[in-house]
Structure formats: structure tokens, C-alpha cells
Structure 1
């Protein structure tokens, strides 16, 4: 029996966070949401998270320190960063989707990342 994959969306803009949550739920994922890095950490402590989709720039624990946290403490998780702020010349250790991005493209990336992870588990 296959278990439902859990995605954590970390996004400070309500409209994006909730629309993306609903979109990914319709794709069959369990979706948790947080509006900043602190809320995300709480979810990661309470739940098994398979993949993180996070905005880069947030008022509470966002930006470079959030990226450092994810890189240091979540190296075992798939992470995608979204941003309307970053430029391609910024060095980020995760794939970046530049806003505005196509939800279909994100869903393809999520499916591919989780399929790769599933293959590695078998």
C-alpha cells in the first residue's frame, strides 16, 4: 500500500500559499502550510515531511538564514525555493522557481523529485 506523500509549503503570501495548497491537494498530496520559517520548523517537528516548497523572502526566518537552516538541517529532504526576489546569479543550493511560476511546472518537479526518492527507498 502506498503512503501519501507530505509536502510542506512555506509562503508568507496568503493567496499563493492557499492556492498552491489546494492545487497540490488535488494532485493527491497531503499538504501542510506555514507562513514563515518558524511555523515550518514546527510542522517538521510534528510531521514526516517528504518535500518542502518554500518562498525565499519572508519576514520571519526567511532569506539567507532560512536557506542555511534548510541546507544544514534538512539535507535529507527535497527542497524547492520560490522567489520573486532572487536572480539566477544568486547561489542557492536548491532548485529555484522564479515568480510568477506555473503550478503545472512545480507539480512536475514535485512528482519527479518524489518518484526519485521512492526509487531510492526501494
Structure 2
């Protein structure tokens, strides 16, 4: 078992997912990719992660559904949501209420460095 932090990335845009995986791997993280929320849940059951990065709009199980599943599995698992579709109203909706914490929302397009900074802040805060 590796002592590197494990990041699960749920993203249906393959190029974006691979870019995040490449960047975080080079920064020393172990990264698992999932093409949608359902695949993410299956992967997490087999190999728990330290943090999840997810898109909101995905096939089969979207980001909101994935977060609901995650909260049932591990209520304190940190989650980073990346989306280009989030409005202020929907951010104030289900995603930001206390039951969904710890959670951060990053608006697409988001730089790999912004993802890394948020990830490290969340992991260090959770430690």
C-alpha cells in the first residue's frame, strides 16, 4: 500500500481527466479516474480515496448524486466540485449546505494549479 495521498477524479471529459491525473501524479499523488459518478462509487468501494474531485454534469450518476452517495459512505470525505454550469443560486442550493461539507466549488475552466492548491488546503485542513 502506498503512503501517497489517493485522489479520485470523476470527470467524463477524457482529456480533462487525463490532464488532471498527469499533473497530480507528477506532484506525488496517486490518482484514480472514473468516467462518471457511478464508476466513481464503484472504484471508491474497492479503493477508498483521501479526496474526490468531481464534475457536476456526467452521465449515469451526476456530481450531485455522487456527492449524496459519498456522504452515505464517508460523511467527512473532502470533495472538490469543478463545473462550468454552476450559478450562484444552485451553489447556495444543496451543494453548500452543511451536510455537504467539506466541499469546495471551482468554476471551469480551472487551472491544474488551482486544483492542487484547493486539494492541499482541504487535505491539510482535514488532517
> Is residue 105 of structure 1 aligned with residue 114 of structure 2?
yes
Structure 1-normalised TM-score?
Answer: 0.87
Q: How far is the alpha carbon of 1:63 from its aligned partner?
A: 4.4
Over aligned residues, Cα RMSD in angstroms?
1.6
Cα distance in structure 1, aligned partners of 2:3 and 2:67: 28
- Structure 2 gaps of 5+ residues are none
Partner residue of 1:65? Answer: 65
Q: 1:49 to 1:64 in 2, by over 3 A?
A: closer
Q: What is the rounded CA distance, in whole Å, between the counterparts of 2:26 and 2:89 in structure 1? A: 34
CA distance in 1, matches of 2:120, 2:33: 18
Residue 114 of structure 2 is aligned to residue 96 of structure 1: no
Q: Secondary structure at the match of 1:96?
A: strand
Q: Where in structure 2 are the equivalents of 1:1-122 lying within 5 Å?
A: 3-90=3-90, 91=93, 92=95, 93=100, 94-118=103-127
Structure 1 residue 50 displacement after superposition: 0.3
Write the distance in 1 (CA, Å) between the matches of 2:77 and 2:69.
Answer: 12
> Cα distance 1:14–1:30, how it changes in 2: closer, same or farther (>3 A)?
same
> TM-score when scaled to structure 2?
0.84
Which runs of no fewer than 5 residues in structure 1 stay unpaired?
Answer: none
1:108 to partner: Cα distance: 0.6
Are 1:9 and 1:34, in contact at CA under 8 Å, matched by a contact in 2?
Answer: yes
2:47 & 2:61 partners in 1: Cα distance?
20
